[in-house]
């Protein structure tokens, strides 16, 4: 009797285990493929939800997309640091970039500059980008190497990216996030320095390693 009982228990456990394992496997999607997957286990793939702009009868105004509660700000959207988010300290533009500047940061700025800015401003910042070359110089932006722009505060350059320049340049805030805006500012300043620097600006140890005479 004991052997038979043990065999029955083992059989039941094996059956239950196999059933649980089979059900568990239905939740696995396997390798990527183009055909629609089979859904023996629906997981959370199909849920009751409202898509953007879909009407919602629950609310009086019929909108499923709700405005934030008055006086509230979404997490991560407070933007308390005005210098970082708006390039200003009070009503004045900040003179320096409010982020840590590294070589990687400037290189990121170069990459973003070449994508968004160089078509008009040119890769050297001399206002000779492909758009300017092909529109006969109409609506030509100023060169970054003009004295006025060289002395421009970092926050004002940032503001041009954030809000655009009236009549000549649109805002790029929709496409360029905060950190990348400052990275572009850093690269613009690097371009400006490249036209005005001298060997005396190079640290002595680096100049010696390069064999440059100051």
Give me the residue spans of the domains in the chain: 1-47, 82-205
Domain 82-205 has CATH 1.10.760.10: yes
> What pLDDT, on the 0 to 100 scale, is given for residue 198?
84
* Percent of all residues in the chain with a pLDDT value above 90, rounded to a whole number: 52
Q: At CB < 8 A and 24+ separation, what contacts does 179-182 make?
A: 179/99, 180/108, 180/109, 180/112, 182/84, 182/97, 182/98, 182/99, 182/109, 182/154, 182/158
pLDDT above 60: residue 15: yes
Using DSSP, state whether 89 is helix, strand or coil.
strand
b/e map of 121-150 (b: 16 or more CB within 10 Å)? bbeebebbbebbeeeeeeebbebbbeeebe
Task: Of 90, 192, 118, give the one whose Cα is nearest residue 151.
Answer: 192
State residue 92's pLDDT score: 97
Mean pLDDT calculated for residue range 72-90:
92
Average pLDDT of the chain, as a whole number: 87
| Cα atoms in the 13 Å half-sphere on the side-chain side of 185 | 29
Which range, of 41-45, 86-90, 177-181, averages the lowest pLDDT? 41-45
Alpha carbon distance 83, 177 (integer Å):
15
pLDDT of residue 1: 47
Total Cβ atoms within 10 A of residue 189: 20
**Tell me, what's the pLDDT at 30?**
61
User: 192-213: per-residue pLDDT in tens?
Assistant: 999 888 888 888 888 888 888 8
pTM of the shown model: 0.67
pLDDT at residue 182 tops 60: yes
């Amino acid at each position: 009797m004991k052997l038979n009982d043990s065999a029955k228990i083992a059989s039941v456990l094996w059956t239950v285990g196999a059933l649980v394992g089979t059900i568990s496997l239905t939740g696995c999607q396997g390798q990527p493929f183009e055909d629609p997957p089979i859904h023996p286990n629906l997981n959370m793939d199909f849920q009751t939800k409202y898509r953007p702009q879909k009407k919602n009868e629950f609310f009086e105004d019929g909108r499923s997309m709700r405005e934030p509660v008055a006086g509230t700000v979404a997490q991560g959207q407070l933007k308390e640091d005005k210098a970082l988010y708006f390039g200003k300290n009070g009503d004045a533009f900040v003179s320096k970039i409010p982020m840590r500047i590294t070589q990687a940061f400037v290189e990121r700025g170069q990459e973003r500059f070449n994508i968004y800015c160089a078509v008009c401003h040119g890769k050297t910042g001399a206002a000779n980008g492909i758009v300017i070359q092909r529109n006969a110089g109409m609506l030509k932006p100023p060169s970054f190497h003009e004295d006025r722009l060289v002395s421009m505060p970092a926050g004002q350059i940032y503001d041009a990216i954030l809000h655009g320049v009236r009549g000549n340049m649109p805002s790029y805030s929709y496409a360029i996030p905060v950190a990348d805006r400052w990275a572009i500012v850093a690269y613009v300043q690097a371009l400006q320095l490249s036209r005005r620097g001298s060997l005396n600006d190079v640290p002595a140890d680096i100049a010696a390693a390069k064999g440059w005479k100051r």
